[in-house]
Amino acid sequence: MKVQLILSTLFLILQACANDAHKNELNNVADTNEIVFKRWVKDTLPSIKTSDSLFFSEVNINEDTTLMEIKKHYKLKVTSVGNYKNSDLVYAFSLLQREHLLPTTSFFLNLDVNYIYMVSFVGTKYDYKTEIDSFDVITEKEVMNLSYVKGNLVDKKIKKRT
């Protein structure tokens, strides 16, 4: 009976030591990923375009540099969707086309695209997601306020212009 008690106690002590070593290893990986991300932000920041003839953008970085946000704001008159090579605009036009909402005449497009970069925990330099915060299509007859969720236009509010 005493032998079982001693062996059980010894096993629990060894298990606790193994768990501590594993936790330290996980913390080291997280710290390494954070360092890689911070270096990437430092190297990338100078090359970010903050304005163009089509947009202006804001760059926000958290205090601890574990998240970087780039917000691009587009306000433009569209006469022909084929004239644009900008990936955000091409994507916006394809969303409108897919939902049969693309105007046939010229229109104004107000679009706010938010790129979010954060520390990765899977071995890449960063995790990344894109959101469209504001998506408005303005024609002579109406104003469409569109909502975007996970790659789809999910809601639209249409106001007739007078």
> Tell me, what's the pLDDT at 25?
47
Q: C-alpha distances in angstroms, 131 versus 56, 111, 148, 158?
A: 16, 11, 8, 21
Torsion angles phi and psi, residue 106, rounded to 5: -65, 150
For the segment 55-65, the average pLDDT, to the nearest whole number, is 89
* pLDDT value, residue 121: 82
The answer to whether the beta carbons of residues 111 and 130 sit under 8 Å apart is: no
Answer whether residue 6 is part of any domain: no
Residue 23 covered by a domain: no
28 within some domain: no
- Tell me, what's the pLDDT at 26? 44
What pLDDT, on the 0 to 100 scale, is given for residue 100? 94
Say if CB 51 and CB 70 are below 8 A apart: no
Q: Do the domain assignments include residue 8?
A: no
Tell me, yes or no, whether 91 lies in a domain: yes
Total domains in the chain come to 1
Nearest residue to 29 via CA among 116, 118, 124, 117:
124
Answer yes or no: is pLDDT of 144 > 90: yes
Q: Which residue has the higher pLDDT, 20 or 63?
A: 63
Q: Give domain status of residue 4, yes or no.
A: no
54-77: average pLDDT: 91
In a domain, 32, yes or no: no
Asked whether residue 155 is domain-assigned, the answer is yes
**pLDDT value for 7:** 58
The domain of 72 spans: 39-160
Six token digits for residue 138: 């303005």
Give 120-126's long-range contacts (Cβ < 8 A, gap of 24+): 120/33, 120/37, 121/29, 121/30, 121/33, 123/33, 125/36, 125/37, 125/40, 126/37, 126/40
Q: Is the pLDDT of residue 19 over 60?
A: no
